[in-house]
Amino acid sequence: MVWVSLYWPLKHADWHGLTPTDLIFPFFIFIVGMSITLSVNAMQAKGITK
């Protein structure tokens, strides 16, 4: 599939540069992982089991 137009922040950077997308997505994945860890720990502290 060929994209005729693409919102520029979603375009991948060349090998020598970064765009906001290259920084935001990894940060988002990190936050999701931390949220899951904290919520599972909180549920275990309350005595909720799997």
Within 8 A by CB and 6+ apart from 20, the residues are 9
Residue 19 CB coordination number (10 Å): 14
Report the catalytic residues.
12
Q: Report how far residue 41's alpha carbon sits from residue 32's, in angstroms, rounded to the nearest whole number.
A: 14
